Amino acid sequence: MAAWSSNKKWTVLCFLLWITVTCMLYQNQTTFRYIKTFLDNSTGFLSSKTCACQKCLTDYHPWFLERFNKSVNPFLTRENSLSSEAYNWWKNLQNDHAGFTGYRQVEEKLFGTFPIGADFVDPRPDRCRTCAVVGNSDNLKGSRYGPMIDINDVVIRMNGARTKGFEADVGSRTTLHVMYPESAVDLANTTHLVLFPYKTPDIRWLISALTTGSLKFMSYKQAKARITANKDLVMVLNPAFMKYVHEKWLEKHGSYPSTGILTLVLSLHICDEVNVFGYGADKDGNWNHYWEVIESKHHRSAQHNRNYEYNLLTELSDHEKLQMFRG
């Protein structure tokens, strides 16, 4: 035990010496920023591993740690409510005119309706939580990825995604289903509903859709008045997380992040190992869903920089922060 303690102290001293020498040699802001980010995130060999995987997402990597902030809680809770600063950014996404006071009233009703907690944000050094992020691209057809998807601890799907009839290619399990009102679908009783709210009325819709169904929600597309889902498994993305993704990960490219990139970065915060399926176009360059041909091209919104977002995905793959299955 004494020898082990001595070796550990020697390792720490060597590392501190390396920092000192590096700073003296280079003396530039980038070096200092990398070191500060490294220490702030408490990763690397000075601390114990953050997960039990062979590689952990938060293992030291300068490019990744410049963007990733593990202290950001993705979900709205009473302890992690939306700040006025983040609200002022968020309200401009979809011309939200509720005002911060009006938003606070809706947020309080949300917490009074659902037992919302910060699920899936509990990293442990003795666990390797694997996640499959399943997009809706037509490139999943014929992939036979179903068993590879279902073997993950957490399976995340988005918007109108369906599994019935497509199990061989997309799997059958769903742990988290991400949606917003216009993309809402009914869910199994064991699936967590994760709302991505782009405006205050989205949260009003969620409350109504799982209770009275009385709200008439009008947007570019009529949302379902009622949906089936387990009220005890409801989670809502904190709009501050959208701001964080827009500023840190997308470097303000596009007006705001797409559902796809938000889901991807969310997975980096709740998973130890990330596997991505069904992102991008098919082999012929088409952007259809695996269950339908898209007639409307509204999904190619000018609000999102699709090329930048997809390049971010491939860069994460190149840096081995996730594994991408292209179909």
- For residues 224 and 306, state if they share a domain: yes
Residue 76 lies in a domain: no
Are both 59 and 92 inside the same structural domain?
no
Residues 171 and 292 in one domain: yes
323-325, strands of its sheet edge to edge = 234-236, 192-195, 176-179, 154-158, 130-134, 273-277, 323-325
User: ∠115-116-120 over CA atoms, to 5°?
Assistant: 130
Domain identity same for 279 and 243: yes
Q: What is the pLDDT of residue 18?
A: 52
Strand (E) or helix (H) holding 312: helix 306-318
Residues 143, 247 within the same domain: yes
Q: 37, 65, 93 — which closes off a domain?
A: 65
Q: Which of 246, 269, 289, 304 is catalytic?
A: 304
Q: Could you tell me if residue 128 is inside a domain?
A: yes
The pair of three-digit structure tokens given for residue 226, joined into one six-digit string: 């009622």
Q: Torsions phi, psi of 202, nearest 5?
A: -65, -40
Tell whether 176 and 321 lie within a shared domain. yes
User: Residues in the chain with pLDDT < 50?
Assistant: 1-5, 8, 12, 21-47, 298-300
- 77 within some domain: no
* Catalytic-labelled residue, pool 145, 256, 279, 290: 256
304 flagged as catalytic: yes
What pLDDT is attached to residue 296? Answer: 60
Q: What is the pLDDT of residue 33?
A: 42
CA 210 to chain centre: 23
Residues 29 and 169 in one domain: no
Structural domains in the chain (count): 2
Q: What is the pLDDT of residue 301?
A: 57
Residue 297 is assigned to a structural domain of this protein? yes
Q: What is the pTM of this model?
A: 0.82
- Would 79 be classed as within a structural domain? no
Residue 41 CB partners (closer than 8 Å, separation 6+): 58, 65, 68, 69, 70
Give the helix ranges, DSSP H, for 114-145: none
Both 158 and 284 in one domain: the answer is yes
The CATH number of the domain holding residue 270 is: 3.90.1480.20
Give the residue numbers spanning the domain of 36: 2-65
Judge if 106 and 38 occupy the same domain: no
